[in-house]
Structure 1
Amino acid sequence: MSGIYIHIPFCKQACHYCDFHFSTSMKKKEEMVLAIAKEIQMRKSEFKNDPSESEHAKQTVETIYLGGGTPSVLTSEEINFLIAAVYSNYSVIENPEITLEANPDDLSEERIIELSKSKINRLSIGIQSFFEDDLQLMNRAHNSAEAKKCLEEATKYFDNISLDLIYGIPGMSNEKWKQNIETALSFGIPHISSYALTVEPKTALNKLIQTGKIAAPKDDVAQEHFAVLVEMLEANDFIHYELSNFGKANYFSKNNSAYWLGKKYIGIGPSAHSYDGVSRSWNVSNNSIYLKSIQENKLPNEIEILSITDRYNEYIMTGLRTIWGVSLDRIEIEFGSDYLEYLNKQSQKFLDDNLLFIENNILKPTPKGKFLTDGIASDLFYLNLE
Structure 2
Amino acid sequence: MKSLDPNNLLRTPPSGAGGQVGIYIHIPFCKQACHYCDFHFSTSMWKKEAMVNALCKELELREKEFLGEQVATIYFGGGTPSVLETEEIVRLINTVREHYDVVDIPEITLEANPDDLSEDKILQLAASPINRLSIGIQSFFEEDLKLMNRAHNALEAEKCLTLAREHFNNISIDLIYGMPNMTLDRWKRNIEIALGFGIPHISSYALTVEPKTALAKFVEDGLITPASDEETQEHFNLLNDTLLAAGFDCYEISNFGKPGYYSQNNSAYWQQKKYIGIGPSAHSFDGKQRGWNINNNPKYIKSIEQDIVPMEVEVLSATDKYNEYVMTGLRTIWGVSLSRIATEFGSNYKEYILMQADKFLEEHLLFVDGDILKTTKKGMFLADGIAADLFMLNLK
When the two structures are superposed, what TM-score results if normalisation uses the length of structure 2?
A: 0.95
Counterpart residue number, 1:168: 178
Counterparts of 1:179-328 in structure 2, within 5 Å, are 179-328=189-338
> Within 2, Cα distance between the matches of 1:249 and 1:282?
33
Quick one: distance in 2 between partners of 1:21 and 1:271? 7
Q: What letter is aligned with 1:193?
A: S
Residue 365 (str. 1) matches residue 375 (str. 2): yes
Moved over 2 A (4+): none
Q: State the match for 1:17 in structure 2.
A: 36
Q: Hey, what does 1:131 align to over in structure 2?
A: 141
In structure 2, C-alpha distance between the alignment counterparts of 1:158 and 1:252, rounded to whole Å: 15
Other-structure match for 2:9: none
Deviation sequence 1:252-283 (CA, Å, 0-9, x none)? 00000011001000100000000001010000
SS in 1 for 2:25: strand
Equivalent in 56, 61, 66 of residue 47 of structure 1:
66
Give the share of equivalent positions with the same residue, in percent.
65
Q: In the TM superposition, what is the alpha-carbon distance from 1:384 to its structure 2 partner? A: 1.9
By how many angstroms is 1:215 displaced?
1.2
Instruction: Work out the CA distance in 1 between the residues paired with 2:394 and 2:135.
Output: 41
The CA distance in 2 between the partners of 1:321 and 1:62, in whole Å, is 23
What's the secondary structure of 1:6's corresponding residue? strand
Q: Which residue pairs with 2:47 in the alignment?
A: 28
CA deviation profile, 1:169-223 (whole Å, cap 9, x unmatched): 0000111000000000000000000000000011000001111111123211110
Question: Following the alignment from structure 1 to structure 2, what is the Cα–Cα distance between the partners of residues 245 and 278?
Answer: 26
The residue matched to 1:368 in structure 2 has which SS?
helix
1-structure distance, mates of 2:299, 2:119: 37
- SS in structure 2 opposite 1:233? helix
Hey, what's the Cα distance between the residues in 1 that align with 2:31 and 2:223?
A: 24
Q: Distance in 2 between matches of 1:130 and 1:27?
A: 31
Instruction: Write out per-residue CA displacement over residues 303-332 of structure 1, whole angstroms, 9 at most, x where no aligned residue.
Output: 111000000000000000000000001000
The C-alpha deviation readout for 1:20-42, integer Å capped at 9, x for no partner, is 00000001001000000000000
Q: Write the letter of the residue equivalent to 2:118.
A: S
* Corresponding residue number in structure 2 for 1:4: 23
Unaligned runs of 5+ in 1: 50-58
Tell me how far apart the structure 2 counterparts of residues 185 and 108 of structure 1 sit (CA, whole Å).
22
Q: Deviations over 1:75-107 (max 9, x none)?
A: 001000101110000000000000000000000
Taking the aligned partners of 1:210 and 1:14, their CA distance within structure 2 comes to: 19
Counterpart residue identity of residue 283, structure 2: H
SS in 1 for 2:110: strand
- How far apart are the structure 1 equivalents of 2:356 and 2:133? 40
Q: Which amino acid aligns with 1:301?
A: M
- Which residue number corresponds to residue 122 of structure 2? 112
- Unaligned regions of 5+ residues in structure 2, if any? 1-19
Kindly provide the CA deviation profile for residues 81-137 of structure 1, in whole angstroms up to 9, marking residues without a partner as x. Answer: 101110000000000000000000000111101000000000000000000000000
Separation (CA, whole Å) in 1 of partners of 2:240 and 2:266: 19
Q: TM-score, normalised by structure 1?
A: 0.97
- Where 1:274 maps in the other structure, the secondary structure is strand
CA shift for structure 1 position 360: 1.2
More off after superposition, 181-190 vs 286-295:
286-295
Work out the CA distance in 1 between the residues paired with 2:42 and 2:33.
8
Count residues in correspondence: 377
